[in-house]
Amino acid sequence: MTWSQMQPLLTQALGETLRMVGWSTVISVAAGLPIGVLLVLTDRGGLLRSLPVNRVLGAVVNVGRSLPFVILMIALMSFTRGIVGTTIGWQAAVVPLSVGATPFFARLVETSVREVDHGLVEAVQAMGGSTWTVVRKVLLPESLASLLAGVTTTVIALVGYSAMAGVVGGGGLGDLALRYGYQRFETGFMWVIVAVLAVLVTLVQLAGDLAARSVARRGRSGAAPRLRLLRLRTKAEPSPAAGPVETDPAAGAADVDPAPSPAPTSCP
């Protein structure tokens, strides 16, 4: 095949892959973020400790991660048809991609949130902060750099999943490689598709690393002063259990040395 024949096919397939990965990333992050936070909050020592809820969520996440993606796509065909109306095309591939990537991202979120300094959480709680305040002001901001790295890893995994989606008619670069590279023995075209996927993954990784480093740099410059400020505020606030300190006037008067009396003067 000549480049003039490859170019329109590559352009269309790359667009389908980007749409698949983009929509799947949005859905996976929106669904996986609260699941990962709940896994931390409901665990032992969490703010919303509930072991039954934690075990159910953990079991669902583990089952979702244990299924190979090709099997997951086949198992979800009826579910996909009910949502999208078809099982062919990049729109249909978004459903199994999102279902497969959500538990993957949820575990990454759990790992990131567990790394947050517990001293910040205790400081916010001592100032009367609610659970939502702790999540919004401490857990998510302090783990943002790690979360961005997790999003980057998820996007790269979705690029690989989207190539596998081409096996069942999901479109994109994987479908192009299957039809031309495998079925028509266009080996040169196959290596071009491999190169495009490699460049795409490299660009995603570079962008994700740059964003994570930028956030981590800002976090290191502001985390220590913020922690000291929170602890100082906590120490400055009087304990509600302890009332005002009462002093004994008599004891205070006894501790004060009386003024020395003037020496007597002799009369001439």
pLDDT digits (tens, 9 = 90+) for 119-162: 888 888 888 888 888 998 899 999 999 999 999 999 999 999 99
Alpha helices in the chain (DSSP H): 3-41, 51-66, 69-75, 77-84, 90-114, 118-126, 131-134, 140-142, 144-165, 172-176, 187-236, 249-255
pLDDT at 256: 47
Domain range summary for the chain, segments of one domain joined by +: 22-237
Scored b (16 or more CB within 10 A) or e, 48-64 reads eeeeeebeebbeebeeb
What does the alpha-carbon distance between residue 22 and residue 158 come to, in Å, rounded to a whole number? Answer: 9
Q: Following DSSP, what letter does each residue of 146-195 receive, concatenated? A: HHHHHHHHHHHHHHHHHHHHGGGT--HHHHHIIIIIISS--HHHHHHHHH
φ/ψ region of 178 (left if φ > 0, alpha if ψ in -120 to 50, else beta) reads alpha
Side-chain half-sphere CA neighbours of 200 within 13 A? 23
- Measured at the CA of 109, the angle between CA 103 and CA 113, to 5 degrees, comes to 150
Spatial contact of 37 and 112, defined as CB atoms under 8 Å apart: no
Spatial contact of 39 and 106, defined as CB atoms under 8 Å apart: yes
What is the residue whose two structure tokens read 């995994």? 157
What is the residue whose two structure tokens read 């660009």? 203
pLDDT at 219: 67
- Block means of pLDDT (10 residues each) for the chain, length 268 residues? 81 92 95 94 88 92 89 90 88 92 95 89 86 90 93 94 84 86 83 92 95 83 53 48 47 48 48
Query: What's the maximum distance between 2 C-alpha atoms anywhere in the chain?
Result: 138
Give domain 22-237's CATH superfamily: MetI-like (1.10.3720.10)
pLDDT at 45: 83
* pTM beyond cutoff 0.95: no
What does the alpha-carbon distance between residue 214 and residue 130 come to, in Å, rounded to a whole number? Answer: 29
Closest listed residue to residue 92, CA positions, set 108, 106, 74: 74
